[in-house]
Structure 1
């Protein structure tokens, strides 16, 4: 589709960080769940209740 492979794109955008759901939930002040509907609860559970508590 004209897009570069992810590894090449990521090499050019090293400020973009990939992390686990748990680490992302712990880090973020606001959490936006954009996972597919059937995987949303799995992703939220992986984030951890303590990491999501009190966040938007």
Structure 2
């Protein structure tokens, strides 16, 4: 996980946003089709990583 936080600020923000959106889309898919535990676990990890990358965004001055 520390590898993700060593990325530049802009890369972290963009990749976090993309990962978060993918996680939310997979959440909607799981909600509609009730696919099971493992897919929900992967979705939770995606949302957590995406959210973590977005909130740790720090703009350098």
TM-score (norm 1): 0.27
Task: Write 1 or 2 for the structure with the bigger share of helix.
Answer: 2
Greater radius of gyration (CA): 1
Higher relative contact order (CA 8 A, sep 6+): 2
> What's the TM-score once normalised by structure 2's chain length?
0.26
